[in-house]
Amino acid sequence: MKVRKVKEEVVRVSVNDFAKELDLKVVSKGRGEIVLSSISVSRPGLQLTGYFVHFDSGRVQVIGNAENEYLKGMTTEKRYQALENLISRAIPCLIVARGLEIFPEVVELCEKHDCPLFSSSKITTVLINDVTAYKSEVLAPTQIAHGVFVDVFGIGILITGKSGVGKSEIALDLVNRGHRLVADDSVIIKNINDKLIGKSPVNIRYFMEIRGIGIINVQQMFGPGAISPSKTIDIIAELSPWEHGKGYERIGNEDVYEEILGEKVLKLNIPVTPGRNIPIVLETAARQFRLKQAGYDAASDLINSVFGTNE
C-alpha cells in the first residue's frame, strides 16, 4: 500500500477556522493564527497568582468561573499585571468560557501582545473537552494512502491495489448494496488515541471516479445514508489479479497484519478474477471480523472438529 507521511510537530490554524470548528466568538484576532503544538489545555489559576514554574506556553489557556472570580477580587492594577504575566508569554490563544463578561484589561493586553482572544458560551469543562478533542485530531500523526475506504456492516475496510484493479467499482457495488463510502482515491489516516481513523480530503469528499462514466457524487446519487465522514480502519483488503501458482489463504488460521502509524491492521490479500464477486467477499470478511471480535473463529472450530478428541 502506497502511503505518504504528512505528520507535523506544529500546526497553524487561522483564527476564523479555529473559531468555526469550536463554535467560538472571536473577540480579538491577534496574530491571526493559532499555533498548536500540544493537545493539552490549561486553566491558568496558578499563573494568575504569579506561579510559572513548569508553565507550558504552548497550551491553549481557558478562563472559567473560578479564574474570573479570582480576577474580580483584584484591584485594577494587580489584575492588569497578573494578566500581562500570562498573556505576554506567547500563548496560542485565550478563551473565556461560560459567556462571562471579559475584563477590558484582557482585551487590551491580547491586542498589545497579538494574542487571539475568544469567548464561548459553553461551560468550562465541556469547552476544555472540545478543545482537547479538536487538538488531538489536528495534531495526530497522519498518513495519506491511495485506495478506497468503505464502511461495511460497521467495519472499516480500506481497499488497496494497483490502478485499474477495480477498487472504485467494487466500492460502488458495496454502496449500491447499502454500505457507506468514506473516501475514494485518497484516504487521510490519523492515529488518534491509538486508533486509526480514515477520512477523505475535504475537496474530493464523496466524489468517485468510475472509468467509462466519469465523476459521480455518491451523496447526491444514493443519498446521505450512503456516505460516512470518517471511520476506524479495521481491515486492509489488497486486491491483485489472480496469479497461477501463487499460494492464497485457504483456511484463515494465520492472520497477516500491516503496520500503519505504529498500529497493526488485519490485512487480506484478495485475488481478483473475471466473474468473482468481490463485494460479497468483502461483506463476508466484515462479518468474519465481527465474529472473531465476539470470540468465534471458524478456522479453529473446523480444526478442532476434524482433529480434536471426540467424546
Q: Give the residue among 153, 227, 141 at the shortest CA–CA distance from 184.
A: 227
Is the distance from CB of 144 to CB of 4 less than 8 angstroms?
yes
**Alpha-carbon distance 240 to 164, whole Å?**
10
Give, as one character, the DSSP assignment of residue 274: T
Q: Which residues are identified as catalytic? A: 146, 167, 185, 250
Strand partners, 272: 241
Nearest in space to 14 (alpha carbons), one of 38, 35, 41? 35
Burial of 213 (0-12, 13-18, 19+ CB in 10 A): exposed
Place of cell 448494496: 177
Q: How many residues does the chain have?
A: 311
Spatial neighbors of 19 by CB under 8 A, at least 6 apart, are: 25, 26, 118
CA dihedral for 36, 38, 40, 41, sign (positive or negative): negative
Q: How far is it, in rounded angstroms, from Cα 37 to Cα 286?
A: 37
Q: In this structure, which amino acid lies at residue 110?
A: C
Asked whether 54 and 21 are in contact (CB, 8 A), the reply is no
3-state secondary structure of 182: strand
Q: How far apart are CA 132 and CA 38, in angstroms?
A: 9
Asked if 187 and 147 touch (Cβ cutoff 8 Å), the reply is yes
Question: Cβ–Cβ contacts within 10 Å for residue 94, how many?
Answer: 26
